[in-house]
Amino acid sequence: MTQVQQKPLLIKLGGAVLENNQALTNLFSALTEYLAIQQRPLLLVHGGGVIVEDVLKKMNIKSEKKNGLRITPFDQIPYVAGALAGTSNKLLMAKALQAGLSAVGLSLADGFSCSVKQMDPDLGAVGICSPNNPALINSLLAGGFLPVISSIAIGEDGNLYNVNADQAAIAICELVGAELVFLSDVDGVWDAQKKVIPELNTQLADTLIAEDVIQDGMAVKVKAALQAAEQLGYVMLASWKNPENLVSLLAGKAVGTKVIK
């Protein structure tokens, strides 16, 4: 088995893309095109909040959040795990396989890749994960496979835990030394003139948040990206809505917003 030579690239997919069949097709076509040009190891980490909401609604279960995190009572975690590690994961795998990519569906627990502990008793089965054993994922990357990793983990107590997908992506990046791209439904961070900011650091972000230029959901995304940049050096924020830009982004060209320390 050959060793992984290049630094892997991890793409964290926002859950909203799971509702957009054409966007998924475009994404995996871009990944296939990119891999035909450059044999770089790729990984995907995903959430799937939209699928979770749909499942809980059908079960007549009201879902609540605290500080942006879904409160997950332990009696609800089977439904959440099914939506994330089951339906969401296999939807992405189906698209990857259809595009000719050798996808392997995983959770954070497979091969002891990540360890997890309960974040806050008030949140129930919500965990915080940390990198643990890279052997399984590295062997898959070296073998030319595309790991598709859900944000479900298993604690030392044997319980299933739901992990914030942004935090899961950061942990996997640390685990295998990968670079990180957050792909969501926005094309980057905008300035006051609604133009994409090419590079964003903590100081500029704090100013724009204070001036309400960056607000609401984008403020949450930016804070997550800054947290990741603290640990990884930099991350990219870009959109899955522009397939023509994806190959350029993957090739390292300036697309979206580069978030640095």
Q: What is the pLDDT of residues 153-162, one digit of tens each?
A: 999 999 999 9
* Residue 201: strand, helix, or coil: coil
Looking at the fold, whether 122 and 155 belong to one and the same domain comes out as: yes
Q: Given the residues 12, 95, 241, 258, select the one marked as catalytic.
A: 12
Give the model's pLDDT for residue 2.
Answer: 45
Q: Among residues 160, 177, 194, which one ends one of the domains?
A: 177
Give the model's pLDDT for residue 4.
Answer: 43
Annotated binding residues for substrate: 48-49, 70, 162
Region of residue 67 (phi > 0: left; psi between -120 and 50: alpha; otherwise: beta)? left
pLDDT digits (tens, 9 = 90+) for 174-228: 999 999 988 877 778 888 888 889 999 999 999 999 998 988 777 877 888 898 8
Looking at the fold, whether 80 and 196 belong to one and the same domain comes out as: no
Bridge partners of 196, per DSSP, are 190
Residue with tokens 């189906």: 94
Among the listed ranges 52-61, 223-232, 249-258, which one has the minimum average pLDDT value? 249-258
Q: Quick check: is 261 catalytic?
A: no
State the CATH number of the domain containing residue 167.
3.40.1160.10
**Residue 143: is its pLDDT beyond 60?**
yes
* Residue 261: strand, helix, or coil: coil
* Residue 225: strand, helix, or coil: helix
Q: Which two tokens stand for residue 139?
A: 């062997």
Q: Given the residues 14, 15, 188, 256, select the one marked as catalytic.
A: 15
Give the model's pLDDT for residue 98.
Answer: 94
Rounded to a whole number of angstroms, the distance between the first and last alpha carbons of the chain is 36
Q: Among residues 177, 199, 221, which one ends one of the domains?
A: 177
pTM of the model: 0.88
Q: Given the residues 47, 95, 127, 166, select the one marked as catalytic.
A: 166
3-state helix, strand, coil in the chain (%, to 5): 45, 25, 30
Question: Cα separation of 41 and 45, whole Å?
Answer: 14
Q: Quick check: is 49 catalytic?
A: yes
Looking at the fold, whether 46 and 148 belong to one and the same domain comes out as: yes
Question: Cα separation of 153 and 72, whole Å?
Answer: 13
- Give the whole-number percent of the chain exceeding pLDDT 90: 53
Q: Given the residues 124, 188, 221, 241, select the one marked as catalytic.
A: 221
Domain membership of residue 232 as a residue range: 186-261
Q: Quick check: is 191 catalytic?
A: no
Looking at the fold, whether 140 and 53 belong to one and the same domain comes out as: yes
Among the listed ranges 42-56, 144-158, 191-205, 243-257, which one has the minimum average pLDDT value? 243-257
The number of folded domains in the chain is 2
**CA distances, 61 to each of 19, 49, 86, 233, 253 (Å):** 21, 14, 19, 40, 44
Looking at the fold, whether 207 and 153 belong to one and the same domain comes out as: no
**Residue range 62-72: average pLDDT?**
81
Q: Among residues 143, 177, 211, which one ends one of the domains?
A: 177
Q: Quick check: is 15 catalytic?
A: yes
